[in-house]
Copies of this chain bind each other. A is one copy, B any other.
Amino acid sequence: MKKYTIKDIAELAGVSKGTIDRVIHNRGNVAKDVEDKVKQLLSDIDYQPNLIARNLKNNRIYQIGALLPDPKKDAYWEVCSDGIQQALSEFSAFDIRMNTFLFDPTDTKSFVAQHKKLLDSAPDIILMVPLFYKEAKTVLEQYKSLNIEVCTFNNQIDASSASFIGQDLYQSGRVAAKLMHSIIDNGDMAIIHIDEKYKNAVHMQEKEKGFKSYFEDLNGFKDAILKCKIRYTETEDKLRDFLKDHPNLTGIFVTNSKAFHVARLLESENKNHIKLVGYDLLAENVNYLKDGVIDFLIHQNPRQQAYLGLKFLIEHLVFEKEIPGKHLLPIDIINSENVKPFLRA
């Protein structure tokens, strides 16, 4: 129960604290028999260094670099800064400096350019959203060769050693399917990808797979699952045509945060009977959720993703904790009645 200090151990071992220190940090210059004895003692009493004292001595300024999408270009990212602020305030006892570089989420060049600036700022460790697969992979390799640890969130870049925080997208497709299944009786469904064009579409494909797999697992399911890919610029016309072509649609699943486009159309064309499930708590989505045009939203919780990522990084720097290789957040189901606390949390 008692907490041992280096001094205590020195007395127990009959040597000076300098020797204990050399053993703990494997700094050599210790007689073999003494080293063995001290190591035994350390493990016997399960010595845990006082991290407070260690940090006081180290007294370092930690530089954390962040490479994040610009919230001005896509409101989805707005809440990330809240999560970052929360983590910083929890660790305000330590001197942690953040250098944040924002890139345009529609522009791979901007990503690379901001990455270069980030590198110049000589960060100890990095938090990033690896939005573009190819570019991110190169960038991550570069950090690896420099021995700078990275925590990524939102997108998982496979075959990278970087740690990842996010959701199981396949499973979130299944969640959407289950929700859809519980609110529609029968009739055709559609999966709509409103492609922001810039994102490599792995995201949406995973969700589609999960959605389909749920219905394939049901026996005796007969209705059709249609699919529709729409470019961001031509959204409205294409959507209107699609609805006209498929008059007996009963449910629509939008695989990203753009469900409000569909909601707008459903409302203006008085097709409220079509159930709608989408992603993310953008203000426009939330409004349609409250109005009953959108039935469910799945919350990807970018705020929590950023918070956790930064927290892991700080705990690694300060307490030498391991950064988890992969951390999956729960998939939050949101309807009009439980949305409120999620907007701030």
A159 an interface residue at 8 Å Cβ cutoff? no
Residues from chain B with Cβ under 8 Å of A193 in the complex:
none
* A232 interfacial by beta-carbon distance below 8 Å: no
Nearest residue in B to A332 (C-beta to C-beta)? Answer: B332
Please name all residues of chain B whose beta carbon is closer than 8 Å to the beta carbon of A340 when the two chains form the complex. Answer: 171
* A341 CA / B332 CA spacing, docked (Å): 10
Question: Which residues of the partner chain B approach A345 to less than 8 Å between Cβ atoms?
Answer: 329-330
Query: Is A12 an interface residue when CB atoms closer than 8 A count as contact?
Result: no
Q: How far is the CB of A47 from chain B (nearest CB, A)?
A: 13
By the criterion CB–CB under 8 Å, are B214 and A319 in contact? no
**C-alpha gap A334/B296 in the complex (Å):** 13
Expressed in whole angstroms, the Cα–Cα distance for A35 and B44 within the complex equals: 52
Q: Which residues of B contact A146 (CB under 8 A)?
A: none
**A63 CB, min distance to chain B CBs, angstroms:** 12
Binary B-proximity of A301-345 (CB < 8 A = 1, otherwise 0): 000000000000000000100000000111111111110111001
Interface residues of A in 229-279 (CB under 8 A from B): none
A251 CB, nearest partner CB in chain B, Å: 12
Chain B nearest Cβ from A290, distance in angstroms: 11
* Residue A177, interface by CB 8 Å: yes
Judge whether A95 is part of the interface by a CB distance below 8 angstroms: yes
Asked if A31 is at the interface of the complex by the 8 Å CB criterion, the answer is no
Within 8 A of B (CB), among A144-201: 168, 171-172, 174-175, 177-179, 182-183, 185
Residue A85 interfacial (CB < 8 Å): no
Pick the contact of A335: B333, B337, B338 (CB < 8 A): B333
How far apart sit A183 and B48, CA to CA, in the bound complex (Å)?
Answer: 54
> Which chain B residues border A175 with CB–CB below 8 Å?
335, 337-338
The answer to whether A171 touches B338 (Cβ under 8 A) is yes
- Counting chain B CB atoms within 10 Å of each CB, the highest count among A55, A56, A338, A340 belongs to A338
Give bound CA distance, A289 to B148, whole Å.
44
CB contact between A94 and one of B52, B329, B330 (< 8 Å): that residue:
B52
A53, B51: Cβ atoms under 8 Å? no
Q: A78-120 vs B: 1/0 string, CB under 8 Å?
A: 0000000000000011110000000000000000000000000
What is the CB-to-nearest-CB distance from A298 to chain B, in angstroms, rounded to a whole number? 9
Taking the closest CB of chain B, its distance from the CB of A259, in whole angstroms, is 16
Q: Is the CB of A337 within 8 A of B171?
A: yes
Rounded to whole angstroms, the CA-CA distance of A214 and B335 in the bound complex is 13
* 27 A–B pairs (Cβ distance < 8 Å), ordered by A: A48-B92, A50-B93, A51-B92, A51-B93, A52-B93, A52-B94, A53-B56, A56-B56, A175-B335, A175-B337, A178-B337, A182-B182, A182-B295, A182-B335, A183-B183, A185-B185, A329-B345, A330-B332, A330-B338, A330-B341, A330-B345, A331-B338, A331-B341, A332-B332, A332-B333, A333-B333, A333-B338
